[in-house]
Amino acid sequence: MAIALEHFLILSAILFSIGLYGVLAKRNAVAILMSIELMLNAVNIALVAFWRYVAPTLLTGQVFVIFIMVVAAAEVAVGLAIIIAIYRSRETVDAEQIDLMKW
């Protein structure tokens, strides 16, 4: 059975919905960030599959994926810095307890 575009897209959709469940259902802030990374990886798979099957001679799809990886790395760096700063002042990273801003 040859692997067609739909197989990769369904794999990407499953991975994205697993990441979606993780973002909504986890309490640890680092676990929420890891689920966001899962969602970004799912989008990368979908983009590369589209590049391969729809426009293989034009490398724009791969350039888009490289930029998504750059943005994901920058976002993880700053997001984890925020989590570490919150942990320093509140001693917890539970997302259900960090729900009030300072007034």
Partner 1 sequence: MLGNFGYIGIFLISALGFAIFMVLIPPILRRSGIVPKKPNPTKSSTYECGMETVGKSWVQFNFRYYFFALLFVIFDIQVVFLYPWAVAFKQLKLFGLLEMLAFFLILVVGFIYAWRKGVLEWK
Partner 2 sequence: MEMGIAIAFWVLAAVIIGAALAVVLGRNIFRAALFLVLCFFTIAGIFVILSADFLAGVQVLIYVGAIGVLIIFAIMLTRETQRGSPSGRLRLPALIAGLLFLATMVFVIVSTDWQIVAEIPTEPTTSGIAQALFSKEEGFVLPFEIAAALLLAAIIGAIVLVREK
Q: Which is nearer to partner 2, 24 or 100 (CB)?
A: 24
The DSSP code sequence of 40-100 is HHHHHHHHHHHHHHH-TT-THHHHHHHHHHHHHHHHHHHHHHHHHHHHHHHS--BTTT---
| Contact positions with partner 1 (CB under 8 A) in 21-80 | 66, 69-70, 73-74, 76-77, 80
- Residue 37 found at the interface with partner 2 (CB under 8 A): yes
CB of 39 to partner 1, least distance (A): 19
- Asked if residue 1 binds partner 2 (CB under 8 A), the reply is yes
- The closest of 62, 40, 43 to 51, measured between CA atoms, is 62
Nearest residue (CB) to partner 1, 18 versus 71: 71
As a whole number of angstroms, the distance between CA 91 and CA 63 comes to 41
Number of Cβ atoms within 10 Å of the Cβ of 39 = 19
- The reply to whether 81 sits near partner 1 by the rule CB under 8 A is yes
CB of 70 to partner 1, least distance (A): 5
Binding site for partner 1 (CB under 8 A): 66, 69-70, 73-74, 76-77, 80-81, 84
